[in-house]
Structure 1
Amino acid sequence: MFSSKANFSCGIPGCSYKFKSGVDHIEHLTAHHGFSSSPLPLLPSTSPARPAPSTPSAPSAPPAEASSSCPTVIFQDPTLEHDIYISYCPDNCSGGSAFTSRYHDPNQIAAVLSKTFKPWVASVCLGPSHSGDFYEDRALHLKKVKVFVALISPEYSNSDQCKMEYQFALLSLKKPVLPVIIGPGKINDTIESYIEQDGRIPFKMDSPVRNEAEFNERMEYLADAIKKMISSVNTDRETQRLHHLNITEEPRAGVGNGPPSYEQALTQEQSRVVEDIRERVPQVGDRVIAHWLQHSYFTAKIVKYIKSSMKFEIRWDDQDESGRFPDVTMVALDKVPERWEVSVGSRVFFPQGQYCGQEGVRTGGGRYHEGIVTKTEPCSGNRLRCHGHHLKGASDDKWVTYQGYNYTFCCFSDDLRVAPNPYNVTHAYSNMS
Structure 2
Amino acid sequence: MSAPTDVTLELDDIQRGVLSPRPTPYAATYLVFRIDDRDQGRELMRRAGTAATSAADTSSPLGDTWVSVAVTHWGLQALGVPRSSLDSFAWEFRQGMAARARALHDEGASAPRHWEPPLGTHDVHVVIAAVAPDPPRLEEAIDRARSAYDRLPGVTAIWRQDCYALPSEKEHFGYLDGVSHPAVEGSGIPGSNRLEVPLKSGEFILGRPDELGGSAAPEPAVLGRNGSYAAFRKLHQDVAAFRRYLKDSSTTAQDEELIAAKIMGRWRGGAPLALAPEHDDPALGADPLRRNTFFYEQEDPTGFTTPRGCHIRRANPRDASVAGEVRLHRMIRRGAVYGPPLPDGVLEDDGVDRGLMFAFIGAHPGRQFEFVQSEWMNDGVFFGDGHTKDPVVGAADGRTRYTVPRRPVRRRLAPLPRFVVTRGGEYCFLPSLSALRWLGDLRD
Q: TM-score normalized by structure 2?
A: 0.24
Compute the TM-score of the two structures, normalised by the length of structure 1: 0.24
Q: Which has the higher contact order (CA 8 A, sep 6+)?
A: 2
Structure having the higher Rg? 1
